[in-house]
Amino acid sequence: MERTFVALKPDGVQRGLCGEVMKRFEQKGFRLVAAKFLQPSEDHMKQHYLDLKDMPFYAGLCKYMSSGPVFAMVWEGQGIVKMGRMMLGETNPADSKPGSIRGDFCINIGRNIIHGSDTVENAKTEIGLWFKAEEFVSYTPCAQTWVYE
């Protein structure tokens, strides 16, 4: 099964959307295999967003992401990276469709409440940055046979 990294940003946490995001992924049929609630350091966020280091918003993004608590999660399921991105919506909420997380809960790109890995390769890198091997749980949900053939 494929894995992806999803994190509720400080604005999503402050708005009380952790449960709603979890609910949507669970209802879709994906399995939560790791989660933690923390306030990351600015250095951690600089490493996480290293691919954006040359962008003019990089410093502000890293500072913002370390300004409050983040709810970091690893979800597992068939095609989850692509499907997870579809569930999140576009980076700019103005371009997101209703029914997506950003389409339903966001207005401004600087407060788009959630991060999700954009490729399988990036998911592996991000998961490794945020979680240790012993922080994962392995289980088979009782509904799994009703989700997958």
Q: Tell whether residue 24 is among the known ligand binding residues.
A: no
Is position 112 annotated in a ligand binding site?
yes
The residues carrying an active-site annotation are 115
DSSP 54-114: TSTTHHHHHHHHTSS-EEEEEEEETTHHHHHHHHH--SSGGGPPBTBHHHHH---GGG--E
If you search the block for the tokens 């009703």, which residue do you land on? 146
136 a known binding residue?
no
25 annotated as a binding-site residue: no
The pair of three-digit structure tokens given for residue 54, joined into one six-digit string? 């040359």
Q: Is 102 assigned a ligand-binding role in the annotation?
A: yes
Pairing of strands 114-116, 70-77: unpaired
Contact 39, 68 (CB under 8 A): yes
DSSP assignment letter at 118: S
119 in a labelled binding site: no
How far is 105 from 142, CA to CA, in rounded Å?
31
List the binding residues for ATP: 9, 57, 85, 91, 102, 112
